[in-house]
Structures are given as C-alpha cells and as structure tokens.
Amino acid sequence: MSATKDYGRLFNFSAGPAVMPVSVLERMRDELLCLPGVGSSILEISHRSKAFDAILDRTIDDLKQLLGIPAGYSVLFLQGGSRLQFSMVPMNLLRDSGRTAQYVITGTWGKSALVEAVKEGKTEVLWDGKGGNYSQLPRWSDVKVSPEAAYLHVTSNETIQGIQFHDDPTGVAAPVVSDMSSDFLSRPVDVSQYGLIYACAQKNAGPAGVTVVIIRDDLLARGAESMPGYLLYRNHAEGKSCYNTPPTFAIYAMGLIVRWLLDDIGGLGKMAEANRSKAALLYDAIDRFPAFYQGHAEKSVRSMMNVTFRLPNEELEGAFLSEAKKAGCTDLKGHRSVGGIRASIYNAMPREGVETLASLMTSFAERHG
Amino acid sequence: MSATKDYGRLFNFSAGPAVMPVSVLERMRDELLCLPGVGSSILEISHRSKAFDAILDRTIDDLKQLLGIPAGYSVLFLQGGSRLQFSMVPMNLLRDSGRTAQYVITGTWGKSALVEAVKEGKTEVLWDGKGGNYSQLPRWSDVKVSPEAAYLHVTSNETIQGIQFHDDPTGVAAPVVSDMSSDFLSRPVDVSQYGLIYACAQKNAGPAGVTVVIIRDDLLARGAESMPGYLLYRNHAEGKSCYNTPPTFAIYAMGLIVRWLLDDIGGLGKMAEANRSKAALLYDAIDRFPAFYQGHAEKSVRSMMNVTFRLPNEELEGAFLSEAKKAGCTDLKGHRSVGGIRASIYNAMPREGVETLASLMTSFAERHG
C-alpha cells in the first residue's frame, strides 16, 4: 500500500462509501472502455454473458478461498444494502416460524436491525449496551442464546460508535446472523460459526450497490414462497445471484478487491495485522493525551475500523477538523447522531494517511492541551 | 454518435445491461481515480458528502428537465431492479387498500409483475396478449380501467417480445403505473398521465444497480409503516434517496447519461427520432424479405428498442449469429424463453452498428433465402 497523493487524491477517512486500493482503481480505469477480449465495458455486458459469468464464478471462488468458507454455504450478491438485510433476515428466518429471534444490541446498527425484525415476528433482546452509551460489548459466554431461537443477531462492528467484537461467537446452538458490514474482509473469520453473514460492500469490499450474503445452505429452506420474490434468499441462491440483473459493476469491483487481498496483501491474516498496526497509531495518540482526547470505546472493544473520540469541546473539534483538512485528511467528522471525530481506517487506507493523522493528533494536543 | 470500433469495442446488441455512450465512458475513465476538486473517486465518496449531494441534485434536476416532469412528483433512486418494483408497487399501493389493482399483460415482464402483485392483494387482468403470443397490444381506449382501481399497471415496452406502446395512456381515472425499464429516456413521455413510472437503468439510462422511480407525491401517503423500511417509497422520498446508502456510482453514471441526452443529443425528441430511424433500418430489412425474416411483433406495435425476428430455421439462425459476430455484432441471440434473434438498439447503439447489421440481414437473406 503506497501513498495516494498521486492523481490529487487526499486521505479519505469516510465511514463509507470509503477509500479503495489505488491499484484496483487503476485497473478499472484501464479497462473501463473495453474489457480485454470482450469488446464492451464491464458496465455494458449482459449478466447472462460468458464474460460476466466468469467474473461471477471467480469472485465467488476467490471469496471462498479468502475467507475459508466451508462447503455447505452459498455466497449471494444482492442489492438494497444492510438496511434491506435488516428485513430480509427476519422475513426469511423468523416470520411464521413460531420461534423467537434474539438480538444483541451494541449500537446504532444493531438497534436499526431490531426495528425491522419486530415487524416480522417475535424478538427478544439478550443484551443491550444502552446503559454504557454503547461503548461496551458483552463476552460471548455471557450471551445466553436459546437453542430454540430462530437465530441470534449480532453486529460485529458498530461503525458509528467504533466498537468491535474481537472474536467469533463459538458453539452457539441457534444460527448466528452477523451484520459484518463495516469489518467484512478486514480480518479472518471462522465462517463455520455463523448461519448467515451479511455485509454491504462500501467499507472494505467494494463500491456502494452490492451486499454480500453468506448463508448456510440449510437456512435456504426457510422463507415462504408467498414472500416477494426478490426477498427470498433461495431465489438468489438458485439463480447464482442472477435471479434478476445483479449489480454487475459492483460485483466486478469486489472481485478485483478480493484478488488484491489475496495477491497483494497476502490474505486476511496479513490484512488484520496491518489494520491493527494502523489503529494502534491512533489509539496510542489518544492514550498519550488522556486529558485531551476522550475515546468513546472501552479499550478492550476498540474498533480496528472506526476510531471514535472527542476533544475537550466542539470548538477544538472544529479547529482539529480544519487542520486535518489542510493536512489532506478528509471526512473525519463523527456521525451526526453522536458528534466528535471518527477516523475510518479501512483496509485500503494507506498507513501514510494514518501516520499523518496521528502526527496531527500529537501536535494538536501539545498545542491546545 | 460516432463509431465505437476504437478501444477494440464491438457493436453490443445486448438487451441489458447494454451499450453506453463512448463519451460518457471516457469521462468516467478520466475521473475514476479522482473527481476533479474532490480528492477521491466517485466510488469512494460518502453519500452524505457535499460532492455527492451536488451530483444527486443535478441528476434529479436534469432528469426533471429532460423528461419535463411536472411539479408534484418525486424522483427516487432505488436498488433491486424492476423485479423489486414488481413487489414494491403493490406493497405500497395495493396491500390492505380494499381495492383491486388492474393489470395489462403484454408479455414476459407484465406477467412477472402480476405474479408479485397477486401476493399482495386483489388483482384483475384487463387485457392479456397470450392469445396472440404477445405480438399485439390493446389500444388504450379499449382498456376499461375502473376509477376505483388501486392502480392500472402496464409495461411500456416488452423487452423479450419486442413490442411497445407508441403513445401514453390519457385520462385514466386510476393512477397509471408503468414499467418503462426498457424504453425509459428513449423518447418523450407525458409524465402527468402517470401515477408512478419505474425503470431499471441498464438499458438506456445507466449501468445495472440503480432503479429510477418517478412517483406522484399523493401516492407517497399510501403504504403502511409496518412494511419493511427499505420498501416504503416515502422513506426514500423523505431521505432524498439517501434513506440508506444509495448506489452512488450508478447514480453518477446516470447523471452523465442524462447530460449527454440534454447536451449532445438535444433532448428526447431528437433521441426518439434517431431511434426510429435506426429501427427502420432493421424493420425494412425484415419487410424486404418477408419469406425469410419473420418479425415477432405486429407492425403497428413494433418496438424501437428491441427488434425481434426469426429466420426459417434454427440452423440458419445459428449461421446468422455466427456471421454477425464476424462482422463485430454481438449479443443478438433472442431471449432463451423465446429463441430467434433480438437486436436491442438502445439510445447509445451507434447508427453504424445498426447499418452493419442491416447490411448483413440483406446479404444473408439474398444468399440463403
């Protein structure tokens, strides 16, 4: 990962859509008018063409390799973002089941997922971090899932609060459904512990417009034929994500990013190492000036993706954002619902960008602390 | 519109995703690494950023100008394709209304729309072209819509059969909902005659991954809060298509195509004229060899977008496809459900491509007829 000042690019700390690898963007640019050997742009080819089918197959195979997805799971590329998954999960797995879906509420996205589930069937909240202002997470051993539950829903990384589970749940009796939107492909995951994983692409995995669903095949049998056709997972599984026209360009882009992770980065273990090391630069700066920077997350659950903190007051936060912008660091304002600063440092954020921000944090605290 | 043999491009007659204007592709390529003045790629910028908001506003304004959309309508950019609209329309406008939705079934897509509507409420088929193997269309004056209907659903152009309504329905008492997926932006439309227009982008309006909905504002009040949040039109209207992360790149691409139609083509009147003239080249070839080419559509309802015809037998069709490929004309095979030949000649198909195909049709018929 090299510096990205070429092409007039700045260090984009957006929480999503977010920074992508320069080499992937260059490849897209180079073949945007015509895919080699195909005679048309990726934007123009039929989803039923041999050329697209090869891209689709390779992307699925590469994702399976990268994540170590075991046999017995299907990879689907859908539309509508995680927001639509908030509904599709309970529509397929809960509705009319007579069972209860159990939710762990760890922040904004967990809450939003629950709002949709309540519309579809019986739900139960097993743990809610509201009391600690969503700065904490439970240990998996403290989450008492009923083996009779339709599923357990969790959010692996809360993008807005900046908190992240650092291990997979293990041995849960009910199917675990995880919204991995903001840390998907940022680290290794034991897929076999999950019934269903979903993630919108626009953090680590591609541009906005495609949502990945990895579903254990036995769960495809759930969901009634009377549901809207687009919302039934098995329609997409049976059609290999071509039940209707899929977002072809976004899938192609994800395919290139998966290849970048395999070939250029060397896999998810290496990626996680680089991500931890980048995050440490920022958390170290916070910890060196504890009277000046107040991190939102409890130390043990700090996110490696979204580093959230406050300065002593909003005026200083404004001044900080303004100096950051001058240093080429953009999109650092915290989510409008919580304020403060948020540095999203996804896979493709160059280390140089994080170093630039960390230096600014040090010098700013020294000058204003 | 110039020849597209540059860059190794062929003449792509795909029914969708489909050919795009070369100048639009060049513009995307040129700014793919960095949007001028923004510091990031369009693929990387937040949907809440000023830069994207400006793109969104301009695309909506330009679409309103291009189509002459009157006040009192909202333009939404959604995901899930027309397939999801087949469900969203009845979920929002029919479900629990106590009314009946009336459908005109003109081909494959009309039938597919009805399949989803039946799941949501009471439906009635006012006209069905099955008896004529979907080669005909009713006159609007023969479609007796009940003023009490939840809505009338029509398909303006049947992509697979190659038949197209050549006028707008006028004065229908119930809201008219039109699936314009395959002729949207190919000709002027009197938007005021419709309650809701929807179109997936990947024919004339952009890449796959975004669906445009133009909805009369009074219809936004329909649809229950108990519906899945993503599927409620008014959530998207209230959030200016940013209820959740929209498909930012596909919207940007559509914005460029709308500008191309306004600036380079000179509006939808000019576009329709060019499209009629291109289509005439192929229909003339069919009509000159009536014993050899059998057009599917009745003459009066021939589509200006999808020209469908058969040769005397499948062997000759195979030979024709093979010669076409040698001449640089690809994706001419008819839909797998109906066979034969289909030439999709959307807005961005260069006249030279259609001329090449028309000459081949002439010479092929002369040699084999």
Q: Do residues B144 and B126 make contact, with C-beta atoms less than 8 angstroms apart?
A: yes
pLDDT reported for residue A5: 54
**ipTM associated with this complex:** 0.97
Question: Quick check: is B209 in a domain?
Answer: yes
Question: Quick check: is B81 in a domain?
Answer: yes
Is A128 one of the annotated active-site residues of the chain?
no
Looking up residue A307, the CATH number of its domain turns out to be 3.90.1150.10
Residue where a domain stops, chosen among B231, B265, B299: B265
Residue where a domain stops, chosen among A238, A265, A292: A265
Residue whose entry in the numeric block shows the structure tokens 């329309």: B89
Q: Is residue A356 domain-shared with residue A247, that is, in the same domain?
A: no
Q: Is residue B289 domain-shared with residue B215, that is, in the same domain?
A: no
Q: Does A332 touch chain B if contact means CB atoms closer than 8 Å?
A: no
Q: Does A82 touch chain B if contact means CB atoms closer than 8 Å?
A: yes
- The vertex-B290 CA angle with B288 and B295, nearest 5°, equals 105
Q: Is residue A163 domain-shared with residue A280, that is, in the same domain?
A: no
B33 contacts A26? CB cut-off 8 A:
yes
Residue in B14, B91, B230 closest to A83 by CB: B230
Cβ-based contacts of A208 with chain B (< 8 Å): 47, 245-249
Residue where a domain stops, chosen among B225, B248, B265: B265
- At B86-123, the pLDDT tens digits run 999 999 999 999 999 999 999 999 999 999 999 999 99
Q: What is the mean pLDDT of residues B158-184?
A: 97
Model confidence band, residue B5 (pLDDT cutoffs 50, 70, 90): low
Q: Is residue B227 domain-shared with residue B288, that is, in the same domain?
A: no
Question: Looking at the predicted structure, is the pLDDT value of residue B1 above 70?
Answer: no
Cβ-based contacts of A253 with chain B (< 8 Å): 43
Question: Quick check: is A3 in a domain?
Answer: no
Q: Is residue B246 domain-shared with residue B345, that is, in the same domain?
A: no
Looking up residue A181, the CATH number of its domain turns out to be 3.40.640.10
Q: Is residue B114 domain-shared with residue B181, that is, in the same domain?
A: yes
Q: What are phi and psi of B255, to 5 degrees?
A: -60, -40
Model confidence band, residue B6 (pLDDT cutoffs 50, 70, 90): confident
Question: Quick check: is B345 in a domain?
Answer: yes
Question: Quick check: is B201 in a domain?
Answer: yes
Q: Above pLDDT 90, what percent of chain B? A: 97
Q: Average pLDDT of each block of 10 consecutive residues along chain A (369 residues)?
A: 68 97 98 96 97 98 98 98 98 97 98 98 98 97 97 98 97 96 98 98 97 98 96 98 98 98 98 98 98 97 98 97 98 92 98 98 96
How far is Cα A209 from Cα A213, in angstroms, rounded to an integer?
A: 13
pLDDT reported for residue B369: 84
Q: Is residue A296 domain-shared with residue A354, that is, in the same domain?
A: yes
Question: Quick check: is B302 in a domain?
Answer: yes
- At B318-338, the pLDDT tens digits run 999 999 999 999 999 999 888
B209 contacts A210? CB cut-off 8 A:
yes
Q: Is residue A80 domain-shared with residue A130, that is, in the same domain?
A: yes
B8 contacts A231? CB cut-off 8 A:
no
Cβ-based contacts of B252 with chain A (< 8 Å): none
Question: Looking at the predicted structure, is the pLDDT value of residue B234 above 70?
Answer: yes
Long-range contacts of B37-40 (CB under 8 A, 24+ apart): B39/A8, B39/A9, B39/A10, B39/A12, B39/A328, B39/A330, B40/A9, B40/A10, B40/A12, B40/A14, B40/A19, B40/A330
Residue in chain B closest to A248 (alpha carbons) equals: B208
Question: Looking at the predicted structure, is the pLDDT value of residue B53 above 50?
Answer: yes
Q: Does A2 touch chain B if contact means CB atoms closer than 8 Å?
A: no
Residue in B33, B91, B119 closest to A226 by CB: B119
Our count of domains for chain A comes to 2
For the sheet with B341-344, list strands across it: B294-295, B306-310, B341-344
Question: Quick check: is B6 in a domain?
Answer: no
Domain of residue A309 covers 12-22+267-368
Question: Looking at the predicted structure, is the pLDDT value of residue B15 above 90?
Answer: yes
Write out the two tokens for B31: 């700014």
Sign, Cα dihedral of B42, B47, B49, B50: positive
Q: Does B223 touch chain A if contact means CB atoms closer than 8 Å?
A: no
Q: Does B34 touch chain A if contact means CB atoms closer than 8 Å?
A: yes
pLDDT reported for residue A3: 42
Q: Is residue A325 domain-shared with residue A356, that is, in the same domain?
A: yes
pLDDT reported for residue A338: 87
- At B60-82, the pLDDT tens digits run 999 999 999 999 999 999 999 99
Task: Given the residues A203, A260, A278, A331, select the one marked as catalytic.
Answer: A203
- At B206-231, the pLDDT tens digits run 999 999 999 999 999 999 999 999 99
Question: Quick check: is A7 in a domain?
Answer: no
Distance from CA of B245 to the nearest CA of A (A): 7
Q: Is residue A177 domain-shared with residue A300, that is, in the same domain?
A: no
Question: Looking at the predicted structure, is the pLDDT value of residue B58 above 70?
Answer: yes
Q: Is residue B203 domain-shared with residue B222, that is, in the same domain?
A: yes
Q: What is the mean pLDDT of residues B4-22?
A: 91
Q: Does A179 touch chain B if contact means CB atoms closer than 8 Å?
A: no
Distance from CA of B193 to the nearest CA of A (A): 28
Distance from CA of B313 to the nearest CA of A (A): 24
Residue in chain A closest to B36 (alpha carbons) equals: A8
Q: Does B231 touch chain A if contact means CB atoms closer than 8 Å?
A: yes
Q: What is the mean pLDDT of residues B252-271?
A: 98
pLDDT reported for residue B219: 98
Q: Does B39 touch chain A if contact means CB atoms closer than 8 Å?
A: yes
pLDDT reported for residue B337: 86
Q: Is residue A254 domain-shared with residue A302, that is, in the same domain?
A: no
User: Hey, which residues of B are catalytic here?
Assistant: 109, 179, 203
